[in-house]
Chains A and B, each alone.
Chain A
Amino acid sequence: MSLWSASLETGAEVCQRARPWLGTVVSVRVEAGPGLAEPAIEAAFAEVGEIHRRMSFHDPDSELSRLNAAAHRAPQAVSGRLRRVLSAALALARASGGSFDPAVGGDPGASWRDVELGGDGRVRFRRPLRLDLGGIAKGYAVDRAIDGLRRQGIAAAVVNAGGDLRSFGCRHTVWVRDPAEPGCGIPLLETADAAVATSAGYFDENALVEPRTGGSLGVDRSATVCARRAIWADGLTKPVLADPSGSVGLLRRLGARAVLLDCQGGRLYLE
């Protein structure tokens, strides 16, 4: 934080905003020359809002909901953004052997394997199912917001979508909750340009479920993944929590690193 305050002396202004999007609170902090910060923040939120409208699982009018209702009957055309997130979700499902699976509901036994992403850009479900991109879309929204801020020449920024955060241009400390005491933060890593996401069940033991077994991934530990892009950090927390040692290869392929924290203060670094 001291670095952010120090930048004020150089004439740049620091501006931060938070708005409800993606079912959570999304906050954006930007450091920029006079008059540049506010329009940049508006543009970042416009992008986050766009992702929300396209990929909301609960809004029946979202592009995702329309896809979920129709794709088992006929191939559906999708937007570039949805295609990008879906293709990342399927890649992660394949690479994690299904411990990350965006397919929910529908036919018993339906899984990501029943989703076809055609070369023509259209999407088809081999049987009725519903896609929930909640485990990855927040990270993508953070990436889009960050990419936009960079393109506008912003010097430094942090975007945090309910705990999926990414920053650039400024060294800062990222904190995580202590699994033994979620009201308390632990300084976990220092970064200048990275994405970080954490998954844990401390507020709701049913929040994280292993898709292959239906069992809870537990309330007593958390998995934090650090990657270049928030979409990977967000998506990788689930496989890491489900199978820490089995996800080392996947982390390496994506240039990501992870740490598991448990209630006793134990740490397991995966890199």
Chain B
Amino acid sequence: MRRDPVLALWLAPCAALVAGPVAGTTYLTVEQAQAALFPGAQMTAHPVALTPAQVKAIEKASDTRVREKTLKVWSASNGGWFYVDQVIGKHELITYALALDAAGAVRGIEILDYRETYGGEVRDPKWRAQFVGKKVGSPLKLDVDIMNLSGATLSSRNITVGVRRLLATHELVVGKP
């Protein structure tokens, strides 16, 4: 099973690029996600503020905490619902969109934005500034795009929990006839 060697070049520690904080990636805006999940549909926003009783019912049904009491939800002119929600992990902040069909079944999930959040020095402008000019004339890359990061260990568990919470929210509040 001998194979041809792979075509790749290791970069030396002092290569043209310097190390930088892992930032994240923006995949889609809310409008792009709406167009992708409900092509051609008119989207109507529905401002919903959950009452304490509704929060309690959702938490009970989904076995998760409701942090955000104001929902970001739209209905689609051709039937269906579109939610934008955020989940927070130990190091990550994920904004995602959930599309439901008219009957409330999952039609699609798109991650809109993924950010890594580290306490302390990674966010500290002074700490970040140490990379600036580390190598004169080097293309400075302060925010590493998650797309090109190997070994990221991103878990989707928080998204799964968020979707469960939104499905309970839809059943108990928004999609209720």
A105-113, A116-124, A186-194: which lies at the interface:
A186-194
Among the listed A18, A181, A193, which residue makes an inter-chain contact with B25, where contact means beta carbons less than 8 Å apart? Answer: A18
B126 CB to nearest chain A CB (Å): 15
- Please report the C-alpha to C-alpha distance between residue A106 and residue B137 in the assembled complex, in whole angstroms: 58
* A17-B27, A27-B146, A165-B150 known; A189+B5 contact, CB < 8 A: no
Contact B149 A25 (CB under 8 A): no
Among the listed B28, B139, B151, which residue makes an inter-chain contact with A177, where contact means beta carbons less than 8 Å apart? Answer: B151
Among the listed B5, B150, B153, which residue makes an inter-chain contact with A188, where contact means beta carbons less than 8 Å apart? Answer: B150
Contact A183 B118 (CB under 8 A): yes
Contact A27 B109 (CB under 8 A): no
Contact B114 A175 (CB under 8 A): no
Among the listed A21, A160, A184, which residue makes an inter-chain contact with B20, where contact means beta carbons less than 8 Å apart? Answer: A184
Contact B149 A228 (CB under 8 A): no
A1 CB to nearest chain B CB (Å): 6
Interface residues of B in 140-163 (CB under 8 A from A): 141, 144-157, 159-160
Contact A177 B3 (CB under 8 A): no
B30 lies within 8 A of chain A by Cβ? no
Contact B111 A222 (CB under 8 A): no
Q: Which residue of A lies closest to B120 (CB)?
A: A183
* A175-B150, A176-B150 known; A27+B27 contact, CB < 8 A: yes
Contact A176 B151 (CB under 8 A): yes
Count of chain A residues with Cβ under 8 Å from any Cβ of B?
Answer: 67
Contact B3 A255 (CB under 8 A): yes
Q: Which residue of A lies closest to B160 (CB)?
A: A20
Contact A253 B19 (CB under 8 A): no
B136 lies within 8 A of chain A by Cβ? no
B31 lies within 8 A of chain A by Cβ? no
Residues from chain B with a CB closer than 8 A to the CB of A1 are 141, 145, 148
B21 lies within 8 A of chain A by Cβ? yes
A23 lies within 8 A of chain B by Cβ? yes
Contact B151 A198 (CB under 8 A): yes
Residues from chain B with a CB closer than 8 A to the CB of A44 are none
Of B2, B17, B96, B116, most buried by chain A (CB within 10 Å of CB) is B17
Residues from chain A with a CB closer than 8 A to the CB of B21 are 183-185
Bits for A7-39, please: 1 = Cβ < 8 Å to B, else 0. 000000000111111111101010000000010
Contact A255 B5 (CB under 8 A): yes
Residues from chain A with a CB closer than 8 A to the CB of B159 are 20, 25
- Please report the C-alpha to C-alpha distance between residue A162 and residue B114 in the assembled complex, in whole angstroms: 12
Contact B151 A160 (CB under 8 A): no
B122 lies within 8 A of chain A by Cβ? yes
B53 lies within 8 A of chain A by Cβ? no
B1 lies within 8 A of chain A by Cβ? yes
Among the listed A174, A175, A183, A255, which residue makes an inter-chain contact with B2, where contact means beta carbons less than 8 Å apart? Answer: A255
Contact A16 B149 (CB under 8 A): no
Contact A17 B10 (CB under 8 A): no
* A18-B111, A158-B147 known; A228+B4 contact, CB < 8 A: yes
Contact B19 A187 (CB under 8 A): yes
* A23-B155, A198-B151 known; A17+B110 contact, CB < 8 A: yes
Residues from chain B with a CB closer than 8 A to the CB of A186 are 13, 19
- Please report the C-alpha to C-alpha distance between residue A116 and residue B94 in the assembled complex, in whole angstroms: 42
B9 lies within 8 A of chain A by Cβ? yes
Contact A194 B148 (CB under 8 A): no
Q: Could you list 19 examples of A-B contacts with CB < 8 Å?
A: A17-B36, A20-B159, A24-B153, A24-B156, A27-B111, A162-B154, A165-B150, A176-B149, A177-B149, A183-B91, A189-B9, A191-B9, A195-B6, A203-B153, A204-B153, A222-B151, A224-B151, A255-B3, A255-B4
Other contacts beyond A183-B122, A256-B3: 13, CB < 8 A? A16-B147, A23-B157, A24-B155, A25-B154, A177-B152, A185-B22, A187-B19, A191-B8, A198-B151, A255-B2, A255-B5, A257-B5, A269-B10
Binding site for B on A (CB under 8 A): 1-2, 16-25, 27, 29, 38, 91, 158, 160, 162-165, 172-178, 181-200, 203-204, 207, 222, 224, 226-228, 252-257, 259, 265, 267, 269
